[in-house]
Amino acid sequence: MSSVQSDPTGELAAREQALTEEVTASFATASDPRTRELLQALVRHVHAFAREVRLSEREWQQAIAFLTRAGEITDDRRQEFILLSDVLGLSMQTVAINAPRDTRATEATVFGPFFVEQAPEVPFGGDIAEGVVGEPCWVAGRVTTVDGEPVPNARIEVWEADEDGFYDVQYRDNRTAGRACTHADAEGRYAFWSVRPAAYPIPDDGPVGDLMKAGGRSVYRPAHIHFMVTAPGCARLVTHVFTGGPHLDDDAVFGVKQSLIRELAEHPPGDGPGGRVLADRWWTLDFDIVLARADAEVAP
């Protein structure tokens, strides 16, 4: 039964609206205008949600327990709240809101919960995948501005899962593997060895996994490599390169964009780039990166 049907005089609805207005007004004295705007909008929308679904006390308690579990499972190697933001599409919505207006730039996508600060430095053509299980993959490309000018010495941080779908932060021995920081050369070119990306499930042993099961949703992400690229005078770019395969159409975090999909090329055993000799098949992946200007306007 709707709130209107159960409240013919409108007295209950008026009481609920009065509470929303009271709480909203309580933040009117916030000294920072943006803080005031955020908090008042949050109150209005949270109250509107509770009123729309007629939130029960039991459901409210379940929500509090859910958030408590998310906090308890979060540590310096697992960020359950980012994962929650990802599966609700809030991360991608924030990316879209803050995307540069210049459509010539490489599209951004989600940051994800597996980034780690202070990744090891790897030289041009180095191997980021030492200690990671998977078929060798040579990843190379060029970093340019939207005007086609090379971006020398751009800082490129990369991280990816192994062929079993695990990031190093999920290993029990706490080793660092499958991630690194490298730099473009004077002509904006970059290259490194890694492993062929694989599709994998997001961590589903916590509250976010329970949410996905309750919603009847897939917990899988398509095969990809994460990139974060920074350079003076350019806007920071956080993106992926996707390499095809399953789950492009049902990515658990809504991060797939057609412009970021590339084809892997397969090679037989033999000589590879950088003087490496491969005993088994290996792959190459080309991914050029275009950076917007640091002062570029964001999309409306």
- What stretch(es) of the chain map to CATH 2.60.130.10? 101-291
Q: Give CA separation, 30 vs 22, 95, 236, in Å.
A: 15, 27, 31
**AA letter at 57:** E
Confidence check: pLDDT of 300 > 70: no
pLDDT of residue 7: 80
Residue 215 phi, psi (nearest 5) = -85, -5
| DSSP label of 274 | G
pLDDT in tens, 47-63: 999 999 999 999 999 99
Helix residue ranges per DSSP H, the chain = 11-26, 33-53, 57-73, 80-87, 90-97, 207-214
pLDDT in tens, 180-205: 999 999 999 999 999 999 999 999 99
Confidence of residue 130 (pLDDT cuts 50, 70, 90): confident
Say how far apart CA 131 and CA 179 lie, in whole Å.
11
Question: Which has the closest alpha carbon to 225: 130, 89, 84, 115?
Answer: 115
Question: Which has the closest alpha carbon to 150: 158, 141, 159?
Answer: 141
Tell how strand 270-271 and strand 277-278 pair up.
antiparallel
**AA letter at 143:** V
Residue 270 phi, psi (nearest 5) = 145, -155
Place of tokens 């005078």: 233
More reliable by pLDDT, 66 or 113:
66
CB 284 within 8 A of CB 137: yes
CB 74 within 8 A of CB 81: yes
> What class, spelled out in words, does domain 101-291 have in CATH?
mainly beta
The first and second tokens of residue 169, run together, are 């932060």
